[in-house]
Amino acid sequence: MNKYFISTAIPYVNASPHIGFALELIQGDVLARYRRLRGDEVFFINGTDENALKNVQAAEKAGVDVQKFVDQHAQKYIKLSEVLNISNNDFIRTTEERHIKGAQKLWSACKAEDIYKKSYKGLYCIGCEEFKTQKDLIEGVCPEHRAKPEEVEEENYFFKLSKYQDELLRLIESDELKITPSSRKNETLEFIRGGLEDFSISRSRERAKNWGISVPEDDSQIMYVWFDALTNYINALGYGDDDARFKEYWEKGYSAHLVGKGITRFHAIYWPAMLLSAGLALPKEIFVHGYVTVDGEKISKSIGNVVDPFRVVEKYGVDPVRYFLLREIPSGEDGDFSYKKLEDRYNGDLANGLGNLVQRTVTLIENNLSGELIYKPDLLEKEIKEKTEELFKKYIGNLDSFLLHEALGKTWELVGYANKYIDDKKPWAVVKSDAQEFLAIMNNTVFILYNIAWMLVPFMPETADKIFTILGANRDAETLENYKFLVQKGDGLFPRLK
């Protein structure tokens, strides 16, 4: 059993969560559940970033005390994990004492020569919480937030990022620090080869509006939100208190981050450099996903196309939403959300595909075998076994390569194969003339359906459990030989949408 650590990025709490962040949570959950199925001991975390200036500004705009504001919004993100059936082991807020302690500890652990103080004047994008150069801007505005940065001049602490350029190139090129997919790896390498510049890692207490974590031994400065926030991963593992969990999962285990493409630079360049300076182990892999657009438009409050994940789940159910986001949106690329696409997927793939397969299988067993099927391996057709194994092997390869949409596609290929098998074999007619042949057909069908349920566990855990229950099957059965399936018809899995 290996120790496997997986984290999602921690969002700012200046607004309620939208469908794009729901995708990241679900993707992280798939990775965590998959690794558990592989036998790893998984520690999966998410959380919230509460020390940013944009949170302060949002609180001021709302006329609410900053602490009260971040408390209220953090609860929405905690609730979202519950609503989406996320199997996280911990949730960390950057206003927690354990995080503050760990962030200050990492600052102090960095080599003294890597942190220095100087006066600086530059363009600061509050949306990115980052200084920008003119080459980063398009027509004078940040391309990510479509806002003009403000000009800032003050004395701050800086980190010698430039010192680690060659080492970062070596680590990423060799996949010692693996970035998935490879397109994101190439983008990161291109950025590094363009030359790394030292970056500011503190703000004056005045400009930070007295909100955030104090720089160790200099109370006049507040830690730059990214230098603070990135430490949440190790702080959740107990870095600040020298917890054994930190050593087991971070120092000895396999650690992976799941982040959106807009913050790859912070996780693949800034964060590893900070860890190198502090003499700590680096993450092993960074999975990078794209953005969710809505009806072809980038999600934006000003456009008014923000999709509330709570409402979508309330209307369609959690597993249909998980299925749509994971199947429709390529894992490492941008993808589009629309209610029409969701409903088409629901009716086509879930109701007519999987739901129909389960219903007809159970009905045939219930009507013709009194709801009981004793599984006999010798009745399994060679072609059925080989097809199932072939798709399962590809499914594993897809999951290992962060091609979650393709892994789910292989599952539905098996769903389609099973439905076609039933159509071709016509067991409802065969049962009238050949009871043994009917039994063989149902053995093969149940074998496929049992494997489909297993493949659904990381993606649609509630649905997988329902299928096991409908089949009267123990998902942890050591063998299916002579296993007695006691089917329970019940309600359909996915009633068609009107």
Same domain, 95 and 183: yes
The tally of domains found in the chain comes to 2
Backbone angles phi, psi at 451, to 5 degrees: -70, -35
Contact partners, residue 372, CB within 8 Å, separation at least 6: 365, 484, 485, 486, 487
**Last residue of one domain, picked from the residues 231, 256, 289:** 289
Question: Between residues 354 and 129, which one has the greater pLDDT?
Answer: 354
Q: Name which residue leads in pLDDT, 325 or 490.
A: 325
Based on the domain organization, do 268 and 172 belong to the same domain? yes
DSSP collapsed to 3 states, 113-139: HHEEEEEEEEEEECCCCEEECHHHCEC
* Contact in structure between 43 and 3 (CB atoms under 8 Å): yes
Q: Does residue 48 fall inside a structural domain?
A: yes
| pTM: predicted TM-score of the whole model, two decimal places | 0.93
Q: What pLDDT does 243 receive?
A: 93
CA dihedral 309, 311, 312, 318 (to 10 degrees): 80
**Amino acid identity at 349:** D
Mind listing the pLDDT tens digit for each residue in 137-166? 776 787 765 778 877 778 999 999 999 999
Domain presence at residue 400: yes
Strand partners, 470: none
Q: Tell me the C-alpha distance between 368 and 182, whole Å.
A: 52
**Cα distance between residue 334 and residue 405, in whole Å:** 12
297 found inside a domain: no
CA-CA distance, 271 to 171, in Å (whole number)?
13
As a whole number of angstroms, the distance between CA 280 and CA 230 comes to 14
Whether pLDDT at 112 is above 90? yes
- Answer whether residue 129 shows pLDDT above 80: no
The residue count of the chain comes to 498
For residue 135, give the nearest of 121, 149, 115, 117 by alpha carbon: 149
**Alpha helices (runs of H) in 329-403, residue ranges in sequence order:** 339-345, 356-368, 382-400
Please report where in the chains the tokens 């790859």 appear, as a residue: 264
Q: How far apart are the first and last CA of the chain?
A: 47
Q: Are residues 278 and 372 in the same domain?
A: no
* 48: pLDDT strictly greater than 70: yes
Structural tokens at position 21: 């962040």
Residue 304 lies in a domain: no
Residue 208 in any domain: the answer is: yes
Catalogue the long-range contacts made by 468-477 (C-beta closer than 8 Å, 24 or more residues apart).
470/358, 470/362, 471/362, 471/446
Q: How do residues 281-321 score in pLDDT, each as one tens digit?
A: 999 999 999 999 998 888 876 667 889 999 999 999 999 99
Quote the pLDDT of residue 115.
98
Residues 277 and 358 in one domain: no
Same domain, yes or no: 282 and 416: no
We report the CATH number of the domain holding residue 422 as 1.10.730.10
Picking from 5, 29, 77, 9, the residue whose alpha carbon sits closest to that of residue 262 is: 9
Do 244 and 346 lie in one domain? The reply is no
Helix axes 435-456, 404-425, angle to 10 degrees: 170
Same domain for 281 and 353?
A: no
pLDDT tens digits for 86-99? 999 999 999 999 99
Q: Strand pairing partners for 294? A: 297, 337
Mean per-residue pLDDT over the chain, rounded: 94
Pair (147, 269) in one structural domain: yes
pLDDT band for position 205 (50/70/90)?
Answer: very high
Q: Before 272, cis peptide (omega within 30)?
A: no
Mean pLDDT (whole number) for 205-228:
94
Residue of 361, 359, 454, 337 whose CA lies nearest to 399 = 454
Question: 283 and 352, same structural domain?
Answer: no
Query: For residue 141, what pLDDT is reported?
Result: 80
Q: Using only the alpha carbons of the chain, give its radius of gyration.
A: 26
What are the tens digits of pLDDT across the range 398-447?
Answer: 999 999 999 999 999 999 999 999 999 999 999 999 999 999 999 999 99
pLDDT digits (tens, 9 = 90+) for 345-378: 999 999 999 999 999 999 999 999 999 999 999 9
pLDDT at position 21 is 93
Given a contact cutoff of 8 angstroms between Cβ atoms, the answer to whether 280 and 234 are in contact is yes
Break the chain down into helix, strand, coil percent, rounded to 5: 50, 20, 30
Cα 47 from chain centroid?
Answer: 12
What pLDDT was estimated at residue 302? 61
Select from 265, 289, 313 the last residue of a domain: 289
- Among 109-113, 121-125, 253-257, 473-477, the minimum mean pLDDT is found in 121-125
The whole domain housing 406 covers 339-486
Are the beta carbons of 294 and 324 closer than 8 angstroms?
no
pLDDT of the residue at 151: 77
Query: Domain check: are 468 and 394 in the same one?
Result: yes
**Which residues have C-beta within 8 Å of that of residue 30, sequence separation ≥ 6?**
326, 399, 404, 458, 459
Q: Are 41 and 59 in contact (CB under 8 A)?
A: no
Residue 104 covered by a domain: yes
**Is residue 363 in some structural domain?**
yes
Task: Report d(CA 418, CA 355) in Å as an integer.
Answer: 12
- pLDDT number for residue 301: 65
pLDDT above 70 (res 63): yes
Same domain, 165 and 30: yes
Tell me, yes or no, whether 360 and 263 share the same domain: no
Question: H or E stretch including 318?
Answer: helix 318-328
Residue 302 lies in a domain: no
Q: How many CB atoms lie within 10 A of CB 61?
A: 10
CATH at 214: 3.40.50.620
Domain end residue (candidates: 258, 289, 320): 289
